[in-house]
Amino acid sequence: MLIMGDAGTRLRVFLAELRRRKVYRVAVVYAVVAFVIWQAAEIAFPALHLPEWTLTLVVVLTLIGFPIALLLAWAFEIAPEGVRRTEPRVADAMVSARRAWLPPALAGLAVLALVVAAGWWMLRERGEPPDERKMLVVLPFENLGPPEEEYFADGVTEEVTSRLARISGLGVIGRTSAIQYKNTDKTIREIGEELGVDYLLEGTVRWERAGEGESRVRVTPQLVRASDATHVWTEPYEEALSGIFQLQAEIAERVAAALQVTLLGAEREALEAEPTENLEAYDYYLRGIDYHRRGFLEREIQLGIQMFERAVELDSTFALAYAWLGFEHTGMYHLFYDRSAERLAEARAALDEALRLDPDLPEAHLMFCFYYWTLLEHDRALEHCAVAQRSLPNESELWRFIGLIKMWQGEFQEALEYQRKAQSLDPRYAIHPMNVGGVYRWLRRYPEAARSYERAIALLPDFGVLYVEQAYVYLAWDGTPERARAALARAVRAGASSGWLAPLLQVQLELFDRNHAGALDQLALWERDYLDALHFFVPRAQLYAQVYGLMGDRELERAYYDSARAVVEARLGELPADPRLHSALGIAYAGLGRVEEAIREGRIGVELSPLHKDAAVGPHRIFELAQIYTMVGEYDAAVEQLEYLLSVPGPHSAAMLRVDPTWDALRDHPRFQRLLRSIARP
């Protein structure tokens, strides 16, 4: 006879009853089906352009259904005559006991499973605990003066934001996200919800220029609580233009006091710092910042350089202007607008002068971080980042640079965390989700990559590079051109610029379809003789040669490879240490049958861009070395490079290898076939 106090017996009876009523089977089947639904949603929803919350809704609904399915499995069974209530098969006393405690226990277990699953999902998606600091955004101050003084009002906003961002007790949203609400019709509450902030600082600026005597500045800031749009603090300020820095510092201090945030000694000193005593130099500095914020085009960078150069001419002790001047020169070099030694020397000289004038200037250390990352000197870059971090805890660009450095070092999980940190501080800056998507792409986590690029496109729909990057994600995902073409078509409909890589991608898509005539038509549309990008250098003649080679026209193939050789050799004379150029020259030599020279140049490209310091760009050099080996008939060596390429993070995938005609000569190679079979389709 069963004893009611025997806990072990009760547990055995409970487990047996779970088995008899098929609760285990229902739980396993439900979990498998739910997981399949989640994975299908991750793949399908980005392609259907559904908002991100729809995926969360699917997860929540399936989790809610789990305990319901278990309780139904306990109470009912499917019999030949239909669904009926499950009958007990033990002694009446035990039945009574089970009825009293087994269903609640079952419900408790189901709820526990629900909480664990939901917690796992949230941790997976969010990646880090919530920020407990008071979150604030400084909205663009309204210019009450003439339109040509808009840059001045933006400059005041920028400086107030910069000072508040130095306070460790505050979380300050980045300027790029804030400026998107300039002249917005959205309510305070809507902005607060979109940015995840507790408070908003808004205001007006009027610069009253005096014909005689000193001009004056009038600023009226208002601190507003996001949840109910109530005003926490407001106070009008009016100062002579010479007091603009004290005015900005006082606004920042009053905001901190209103939010009951204690200022540390170093933070108070930073708030009260005056970068220059020359107001004309400061005006040129603000104009330079204005050009910097306009984008990455060469013209804007050149104009920014002119403004910062004028600022330091007027005040040779203006350390902050020197720092920005060095940053813009570095940008010219980094973006391949000017890769000369002279440009790099100008960048270094300006940054050195900034630190000579102010060794603790955090902006100068931040700019040096960018400078050394550009040179692939990662340890020195991180040293400067660490110095900047002490004073700029809210600077999203700092965390973005660290994330990029970690990616280049091959530390992809850390890179992802830093890029997410940058995104949390500047959530409406499209560069951040683009960088998150890039890390996911290198990790071959294609659903997450596609969603990140979709988020970036929603924020900046006229930036064509985003569509091109998303198209490459789709290609790596399944190797078929349809979704990639759809991404490029979206860019056209959105009126976006084609992007740096779009011309190359268009040719590749035609080649993947074996449409040689279409590839030639696309090449005829190129406006330049080569594509010069961060990851590779591709002469148009090289692609012409490849197309004619696939068509069997050996004479034209050789002629175009010789043209490609001439283009690359001329460029290599200017930049002898550029790994992209050595790889491109190796491909041209391979097409001309110069086997030893081709392999030598391809190896030099790999050696100049080793994965341990260039994990973001280095895979392209390995890819090109494999291409060279294939072209010269060294098939074992080619497959060896491809095997290694797919064993490390990178932009290439087995799906792309399956359709790329570059590898047609390897189709019957046993190791190549095993390689494609061993890499599961995403």
Q: Where are the domains of the chain?
A: 7-126, 134-271, 279-428, 430-499, 549-678
Q: Which of 637, 543, 658, 535 is nearest to 595 (CA)?
A: 637
pLDDT score at 191: 92
Q: Which of 224, 226, 189 is nearest to 203 (CA)?
A: 224
Instruction: Give yes or no on whether 134-271 and 430-499 have one common fold.
Output: no
pLDDT score at 462: 86
Q: Average pLDDT, stretch 109-127?
A: 50
pLDDT score at 324: 97
What sign does the CA torsion over 204, 149, 425, 427 have?
positive
Whether pLDDT at 122 is above 50:
no
Please, how many CA atoms are within 13 Å of residue 226, restricted to the half-sphere of its CB?
20
Whether pLDDT at 620 is above 90:
yes
Whether pLDDT at 658 is above 70:
yes
pLDDT score at 3: 43
Q: Write phi, then psi, for 234 (nearest 5 degrees).
A: -155, 145
Domain covering 430-499 in this structure, CATH number: 1.25.40
pLDDT score at 136: 92
> Which CATH number applies to 279-428: 3.30.70.20, 3.30.1490.20, 3.40.50.300, 1.25.40.10?
1.25.40.10
Domain covering 134-271 in this structure, CATH number: 3.40.50.10610
Q: Average pLDDT, stretch 382-387?
A: 95
Whether pLDDT at 43 is above 60:
no
pLDDT score at 77: 65
The band of 24, judged by pLDDT with boundaries at 50, 70 and 90, is low
| Residues linked to residue 134 through DSSP beta bridges, in sequence order | 170
Cα torsion 49, 55, 56, 57 to 10°: value is: 100
More confident residue, 646 or 127: 646
| Least confident span in 202-206, 358-362, 382-386, 392-396 | 392-396
* Contact present, 597 and 603 (Cβ < 8 Å): no
Q: Average pLDDT, stretch 82-107?
A: 52
Q: Which stretches within 127-169 are classed as H helix?
A: 150-165
| Residues linked to residue 532 through DSSP beta bridges, in sequence order | 537
pLDDT score at 163: 87
- pLDDT tens string 272-284: 888 898 989 989 9
How does the average pLDDT of the chain come out, rounded? 85
Rounded Cα–Cα distance for residues 421 and 591 (Å): 46
pLDDT score at 1: 38
More confident residue, 17 or 425: 425
Whether pLDDT at 97 is above 70:
no
CB contact set of 61 (below 8 Å; sequence gap of 6+): none
Rounded Cα–Cα distance for residues 494 and 229 (Å): 35
Task: Write the single-letter amino acid at 529.
Answer: D
* Contact present, 55 and 42 (Cβ < 8 Å): yes
Whether pLDDT at 504 is above 80:
yes
The band of 132, judged by pLDDT with boundaries at 50, 70 and 90, is low
Assign 661 to helix, strand or coil. Answer: helix
Q: Which of 34-43, 65-74, 483-492, 545-554 has the highest mean pLDDT?
A: 545-554
Whether pLDDT at 460 is above 60:
yes
State percent of the chain over pLDDT 90. Answer: 52
Task: Write the single-letter amino acid at 307.
Answer: M
- pLDDT tens string 542-591: 999 999 999 999 999 999 999 999 999 999 998 898 999 999 999 999 99
Buried b (16+ CB within 10 A) or exposed e, 126-139: eeeeeeebbbbbbb
Three-state secondary structure string covering 567-585: HHHHHHHHCCCCHHHHHHH
Q: Average pLDDT, stretch 622-651?
A: 97
User: E-assigned strands of 210-332?
Assistant: 216-225, 231-234, 237-240
Whether pLDDT at 499 is above 80:
no
Q: Which two tokens stand for residue 381?
A: 């870059």
Q: Which of 237-241, 327-331, 424-428 has the highest mean pLDDT?
A: 327-331
pLDDT score at 87: 61
Q: Which of 75-79, 104-108, 217-221, 453-457 has the highest mean pLDDT?
A: 453-457
pLDDT score at 4: 45
Q: Average pLDDT, stretch 170-181?
A: 88
Rounded Cα–Cα distance for residues 289 and 308 (Å): 9
pLDDT score at 621: 97
Q: Which two tokens stand for residue 657?
A: 């290898």
The band of 270, judged by pLDDT with boundaries at 50, 70 and 90, is confident
CB contact set of 43 (below 8 Å; sequence gap of 6+): 447
What sign does the CA torsion over 333, 338, 344, 346 have?
negative
Q: Which stretches within 443-501 are classed as H helix?
A: 446-459, 464-478, 481-493
Element holding 54 (H helix, E strand): helix 52-75
Task: Write the single-letter amino acid at 598.
Answer: A
Whether pLDDT at 675 is above 80:
yes
pTM over 0.85: no
Q: Average pLDDT, stretch 603-631?
A: 95
Q: ∠482-488-490 over CA atoms, to 5°?
A: 105
Whether pLDDT at 306 is above 50:
yes
333-336: long-range pairs with CB below 8 Å, 24+:
333/374, 334/370, 334/374, 334/534, 335/296, 335/298, 335/301, 335/534, 336/532, 336/533, 336/534
CATH topology of domain 549-678: 1.25.40
pLDDT score at 681: 46
Whether pLDDT at 123 is above 50:
no
Q: Average pLDDT, stretch 23-38?
A: 68
Whether pLDDT at 46 is above 60:
no
Task: Write the single-letter amino acid at 676.
Answer: L
More confident residue, 19 or 112: 19
